[in-house]
Structure 1
């Protein structure tokens, strides 16, 4: 695919890995692109649960047994979060119509303790996925990623990791619907 024919990714888009991507960090992954500009790109793998729970990694969250996802291979000692719906926290960055990245963590902590934040609408991530300037464009040229312009909403928070990857591709139709059914290892077919 030539660079001029590439879809232009932007914050809020989803990057769906091609079915045979061998990088274990991104195999069958869906990355929520939070930032894409001349300085590089930043995203969070939306469908890779970690083995950790929020109450195991954040002090003072003993009351909250929530799954934490692996946002990517970069700085896995950092915690990030996204939520959907109306803006609920100061300092949140809008990355979609009703999709927010980050925000005031102390405010979030307080809202979670008092039960005034919808747990179904938030997802936490350790680490992130990052691309240097031009790197994501190169990977798109190499057909490593499929850019999905579908708006991420609360239903995406409830899909299993494999279901999300398949469902997004099926919803895109055409050749993508076929890709959704590719076996993980075609040699076993």
Structure 2
């Protein structure tokens, strides 16, 4: 396997055969990966809850369709902000760059200042996490496709279409997988 940073800033797209119901048809933006484990957020699980209900002042920073997203099954009582940085590589107060144009938002920062400096942001309840070797095992078992992330993936206006759209843009066999029915046994 490539170096530990090979997954950071990339997407994990669940295969139709991934057994874990927490990750059914999910797209996960990977934010960290090292020998002790991995960490990311699910990009296509809006909750329908306004961000201001849990983090007053941050609703205006949330990209459309707005609202809080479920970042994964771990730590649902905590929040993480992820932003798309400007293409010019300009530093944005309150945002720590991760890789490429993705950054982690300091939720103690001034929301107006963050909103003014980023292309868009999402606020997530919880995150997705894997212990040492767990993600590698799931990859070996064919549970995930690893593909390049686009900045628009984080701030898509249609998160419910993201799984299909990301697979479709890969072309070939993955584009065909994007057409699989909800229950692949019916294909």
TM-score with structure 2 length normalisation? 0.83
1:126 aligned partner:
125
Q: How does 1:57-136 map to 2 (within 5 A)?
A: 57-60=54-57, 66-86=66-86, 87-90=91-94, 92-95=96-99, 97-103=100-106, 105-111=107-113, 116-117=116-117, 121-136=120-135
* Aligned mate of 2:24, from 15, 22, 27: 27
* Aligned mate of 1:15, from 9, 12, 16: 12
5+ residue gaps, structure 1, are none
TM-score with structure 1 length normalisation? 0.82
Give the Å deviation of 1:90.
Answer: 4.2
- Asked if structure 1 preserves the Cα contact closer than 8 Å seen for 2:15 and 2:143, the reply is yes
CA separation of 1:9/1:142 partners in 2, compared to 1, >3 Å: closer, same or farther?
farther
Q: Root-mean-square deviation (CA), in Å?
A: 2.7
1:49 aligned partner:
46
5+ residue gaps, structure 2, are none
CA separation of 1:134/1:63 partners in 2, compared to 1, >3 Å: closer, same or farther?
closer
Query: Distance between the aligned counterparts of 2:133 and 2:80, measured in 1?
Result: 24
- Asked if structure 2 preserves the Cα contact closer than 8 Å seen for 1:52 and 1:67, the reply is yes
- Asked if structure 2 preserves the Cα contact closer than 8 Å seen for 1:9 and 1:147, the reply is no
Q: Matched residue of 2:116: which SS?
A: coil
**1:125-182 deviation per Cα after TM superposition (whole angstroms, max 9, x unaligned):** 000000001000000000001001x232136512423321111111111110110000
Give the Å deviation of 1:102.
Answer: 2.7
1:138 aligned partner:
137
